[in-house]
Amino acid sequence: GNSVTQMEGPVTLSEEAFLTINCTYTATGYPSLFWYVQYPGEGLQLLLKATKADDKGSNKGFEATYRKETTSFHLEKGSVQVSDSAVYFCALPRGNEKLTFGTGTRLTIIP
Amino acid sequence: NAGVTQTPKFQVLKTGQSMTLQCAQDMNHEYMSWYRQDPGMGLRLIHYSVGAGITDQGEVPNGYNVSRSTTEDFPLRLLSAAPSQTSVYFCASSYAGPNTGELFFGEGSRLTVL
C-alpha cells in the first residue's frame, strides 16, 4: 500500500538558513501529496500540496515539488524564521478515504 | 468560525475506566476521522466516517468505538482504558475527503491512562 518515509529529526537551524526536509513515497499511480505542519500546542494544518507529477506546491515561503522519477516530495525554504519552528509531516492518500502520515520532523530555529 | 472542536483537552484515567472524547465540526463536512499521535510514530488512523450513519476502521481500531448519528458530531469511546492508549488524540474533518481535500484538525485531547 501507499506509504511515506520521512527524514528523521530533530533538525536545528539558525535563523535565515536554508531548509530541506526529505520525504520519499511508495504509491500506486500518482496520488496527491501533502505537507502538514503542527505548531506547538496545536493540531495539524495543511501547509501545501501537489496533485500531480511535476507540480510544485508552495505556501508561506515553503515549496515542494512532486518528482515521480525519484518518488520524492522534499520540503524546502530558502530562509527560515523562528516562527517556522514546528513539526512537519509528509502525507499521501491510501485509497479514497484514508491519509497516511510520515513520522514527522521536528524543526527548531535558533535566533 | 469554531472549526473542529475537541473536548476534553486533557484527561487522566485509571486502567479499566471508560470515557468518550467529543468531536464537533461546524463546517458541514461529510468526512470525519480520529487519529492518535505517539512519539516516533506519526499519526495513525483509528476510525473514520464518510457521512452520518457510516463508520469504518482505520489502522488501529482495537479498544475504540465510534458512532456518527449527525453530520456534526463524531465521538470516540474508549471502552476499557489501557496504558497503551495513553496518547494525544486528534479529530479531523474534510469536505472532499482526505485524498484530495484539506483535513481540518482539532487542537487535540491529551489522554493519560494510569
**What is the predicted pLDDT for the residue at A40?**
92
Hey, how many other C-beta atoms are within 10 angstroms of the C-beta on B110?
14
Which 3 state secondary structure label does DSSP give B42? Answer: strand
- Residues A51-78 have a mean pLDDT of 96
Asked whether residue A76 carries a pLDDT value surpassing 80, the answer given is yes
Task: Tell me the backbone φ, ψ of residue B7, rounded to 5 degrees.
Answer: -140, 145
Nearest to A99 among B4, B98, B108 (CB): B98
Check CB contact of B61 with chain A, cutoff 8 Å.
Answer: no
Residues of B in contact with A51 (CB under 8 A): 100
In chain A, which residue's Cα lies nearest the Cα of B57? Answer: A98
pLDDT tens-digit readout, B62-107: 999 999 999 999 999 999 999 999 999 999 999 878 777 789 999 9
Instruction: State what percent of residues in chain A have pLDDT above 90.
Output: 82
**Residue B39 or residue A56, greater confidence:** A56
**What is the predicted pLDDT for the residue at B1?**
66
Check CB contact of A87 with chain B, cutoff 8 Å.
Answer: no
Which residues, numbered 10 to 69 in chain A, qualify as contacts with chain B under a Cβ-Cβ cut-off of 8 Å?
A: 31-32, 36, 41-46, 49, 51
In chain A, which residue's Cα lies nearest the Cα of B30? Answer: A97
- Chain B interface, mutation test: which of A2, A44, A59, A92, most B Cβ atoms within 10 Å? A44
- Residues A44-69 have a mean pLDDT of 95
Whole-angstrom Cα Rg for chain A:
13
Residues of A in contact with B25 (CB under 8 A): none
Asked if residues B26 and B74 have their Cβ atoms less than 8 Å apart, the reply is no
Check CB contact of A103 with chain B, cutoff 8 Å.
Answer: yes
CA trace torsion A31, B59, B85, A6 (10° rounding): -40
**pLDDT, chain B, mean:** 94
**What is the predicted pLDDT for the residue at B100?**
74
pLDDT tens-digit readout, A37-52: 999 989 999 999 999 9
Residue A5 binned pLDDT confidence (cut-offs 50, 70, 90): very high
- Residues A75-81 have a mean pLDDT of 97
Contact A104 B42 (CB under 8 A): yes
**Residue A73 or residue B42, greater confidence:** A73
Residue A12 binned pLDDT confidence (cut-offs 50, 70, 90): very high
A29: Cβ–Cβ under 8 A, 6 or more apart, which residues? none
Residue A29 binned pLDDT confidence (cut-offs 50, 70, 90): confident
- Residues A22-50 have a mean pLDDT of 93
